[in-house]
Structure 1
Amino acid sequence: MPDDQPAGGVPIELNKVTKVFPGGGAPAVQELDLNIPAGEIVVLLGPSGCGKTTTMRMINRLIEPSSGDILIGGQNSRDIDPDRLRRHIGYVIQQAGLFPHMTVAANIGQVPKMLGWDKQRISERVDELLTLVGMEPATFRDSYPRRLSGGQQQRVGVARALAADPPVLLMDEPFGALDPITRERLQDELLHLQDDLAKTIVFVTHDVDEALKIGDHIAIMQRPGHIVQYARPAEILTNPASDYVEQFLGAGSSMRLLRLTKVGDIELDQVVHTSEGTDAEELRQEIERDGRGYALITDGMRRPLRWINQADLEERSGPIGATGDRVTGAIGHRMTLQDALEALLNADTDVVPVVGRRQAYAGALSLATVQNAIASIKSRERERRLRRGEAQ
């Protein structure tokens, strides 16, 4: 694993990984196969004792596998020095695990210091990360962990894990000890950070709602340490692989679908979108062919800037430039349908752009789009109930 890691994530592959502890009887993890795509959040979900944390800790070799292979970015972890491996894998645990005798800045800068970064670079990185996790550097860099709230400590823990810009982040029940409001806020912040950073994140939890909210994919585990279903949240809710999965999810899956299905998982509108350099007459003709009567103007990174309609382009020639009305809000692709519906009801326009990673345009959302998605969800639920009835 090279020392100059890119900002984005790398794939992780577990092949027939088994862990047997001495005197432990049955394997804690048994011939586990798992492919984790680069830049995704994959949640290991299951009850206590199913091997979630053991699996995670084998990725950074805090626990050595008894057999099988773990590939990180295509390289076998057995071929990487364990200390060097861990310095390039961020690790966040419950209750942060900060060093109480060190300041916030010293905690965050610990791994960069071990990697030989100079003081100026470390200081700049500390301030950058504190700002990234919503903590004012001037206020918090010289504080000690005991003076921080639980939520603030977890933010510092995330900042520390990101300090050396690792491609992989391991998170072991990181928000489990927090109150519900703080926990939900930090989940939202994690998703926002991930849109910008695109790390490969392995997240352990036993909380179903947390898994459904943050996971791009979820691996549901069962004793003795194997995966019974690995899929996107919406698929797990609409098509659980077994009675065990359905029982573990519990009642209310239909409501969860509305509350936890992400905007990025439904079919979005694709409105005409273009740049400020587009010729006005060409855009007017394209809008006319599309039939909606409007288009979205984006910048060089495809971030939404303005809405423009056909009337704005009448008798105009040359590049469209700054013509149009400023976009006043966007919906994140990780936002739930429930939250997206609320955003639409409060929006100034009937259609709101949806943005993905780095705030790039990914599609558009209207009330009709949400209604169609809800109808599709209901249809899948009816089909699932019919299949289960026929199987009984």
Structure 2
Amino acid sequence: MADGAAGGVPIELRKVTKAFPGGGEPAVRELDLHIPAGEIVVLLGPSGCGKTTTMRMINRLIEPTSGDILIGGRSSRDIDPDRLRRHIGYVIQQAGLFPHMTVAANIAQVPRMLGWPRKRIAERVDELLTLVGLEPETYRNSYPRRLSGGQQQRIGVARALAADPPVLLMDEPFGALDPISRERIQDELLRLQEELAKTIVFVTHDVDEALKIGDHIAIMQRPGHVVQYARPAEILTNPASDHVEQFLGGGSSMRLLRLTHVGDIELDRIPYASEDMDARDLLREVELDGRGHALILDGMRRPLRWIAQAELEGIQGPVGDAGEPVTVSIAHRMTLQDALETLLNADTDVLPVLGRRRAYAGALSLGTVQNAIQSIKARERERRLRRGEAP
């Protein structure tokens, strides 16, 4: 595990078992799980199914009885436990901040243990406070008792990110928050992940939370094994067993609409180009497309401007800075319900969808959402027919 990793690394659990002395059946039994680099993988299930035990084995707070855990391709058994934990961020419920320390001192814990210079630590504290949406001047010298629950959790996330670890473990981190604060900090986590692309293992027993934030969800059942591991939309439309379906509760197309991410559906494609593309070449693409406009992207594929066919017809040479700025966009992690609301309030009938690093990933229109809803309904009907239910 390299210091200062910019993104995440893969984690692989191979036949991992944990049996506690006198505990009867294993808490975790021969668990195989591949966690891709840069994704949020949620361990979901009822109490006692081995979620937290599995998480704690990743950073060796609990040692496996048998099996192996590879982090970035290297067995965790070959890494000194203290060094391992200093390069894995850990966030727990109610943040677990030290009450006698300032916010800055709490965030600085791991960098200080790693021997960072004071100036670098101070800069990192301010950077992280800004990243989690808290003004450094206001919060760095505050004490945890003066913060709301949501603010404390933000500080907990900042502390876990302090040494820029490739892996973040989050054990029911938002469970004690009120519903509004919980939703806001979930959104904040998704925003941060867009920028940081860490490998995040997230434990929860809340189905809606798992469906909202997870790239993949591992649904666990006693004794400590995975009964379905898939993307949220697949789990909702094609539950692997009666246990999964019962745990998810009554599923409906509307619920799926609320919880399906824009990135899970087939997006529209509209012409796009860089500023140095010849306007005549782009004009031909726009004419073939038939919708009368295109997107201009920067060097990192981030949308800059819309340009209309009429504007292109008057340009000789490169497109340059012609067009109108993109003022509204949709994140690929946004739910279809939120995306629909954004579309209805926008001045245009199509919006660009932004993926990782805010790069252009496709476009969304009311027609795209409508097609997605029809696909959701069709999958739901097929699922019911397969299970012998009335359509």
| Normalised TM-score (structure 1) | 0.98
Distance in 2 (alpha carbons) for counterparts of 1:16 and 1:255: 38
Q: 1:350 deviation in Å?
A: 0.6
Aligned counterpart, 1:97:
96
Aligned counterpart, 1:333:
332
Aligned counterpart, 1:37:
36
2:78 equivalent to 1:82 = no
Letter in 2 for 1:18: T
Q: Deviations over 1:82-130 (max 9, x none)?
A: 0000000000000000011111000001000000100000000000000
Letter in 1 for 2:156: G
Q: Deviations over 1:167-199 (max 9, x none)?
A: 000000000000000000000000010011000
Aligned counterpart, 2:54:
55
Q: 1:279 deviation in Å?
A: 1.1
Aligned counterpart, 1:111:
110
Letter in 1 for 2:187: D
Q: 1:290 deviation in Å?
A: 2.1
How many residue pairs get aligned? The number is 390
Aligned counterpart, 1:219:
218
Aligned counterpart, 2:228:
229
* Contact 1:328/1:348 (<8 A) preserved: no
Q: 1:251 deviation in Å?
A: 1.0
Letter in 2 for 1:301: M
Mapping 1:18-33, distance limit 5 Å: 18-33=17-32
Give identity over the alignment, percent: 83
Aligned counterpart, 1:273:
272
Letter in 1 for 2:169: L
Distance in 1 (alpha carbons) for counterparts of 2:252 and 2:42: 18
Aligned counterpart, 2:361:
362
Q: 1:253 deviation in Å?
A: 3.6
Distance in 1 (alpha carbons) for counterparts of 2:81 and 2:364: 47
Distance in 2 (alpha carbons) for counterparts of 1:130 and 1:199: 18
Alignment gaps of 5+ in structure 2? none
Distance in 1 (alpha carbons) for counterparts of 2:145 and 2:360: 42
Q: Deviations over 1:208-236 (max 9, x none)?
A: 00000000000000000000000000000
Distance in 2 (alpha carbons) for counterparts of 1:349 and 1:56: 45
Alignment gaps of 5+ in structure 1? none
Distance in 1 (alpha carbons) for counterparts of 2:212 and 2:314: 48
Distance in 2 (alpha carbons) for counterparts of 1:18 and 1:118: 41
Q: Deviations over 1:269-320 (max 9, x none)?
A: 1111111111111111121122221110011111111111110012320111
Q: 1:357 deviation in Å?
A: 0.9
Measured on the aligned residues, the alpha-carbon RMSD in Å equals 1.0
Letter in 1 for 2:60: R
* Contact 2:216/2:232 (<8 A) preserved: yes
Mapping 1:301-320, distance limit 5 Å: 301-320=300-319
Aligned counterpart, 2:379:
380
Q: 1:390 deviation in Å?
A: 7.8
Moved more, 143-152 or 245-254: 245-254
Aligned counterpart, 2:9:
10
Mapping 1:73-222, distance limit 5 Å: 73-222=72-221
* Contact 2:236/2:251 (<8 A) preserved: no
SS across alignment from 1:267:
coil
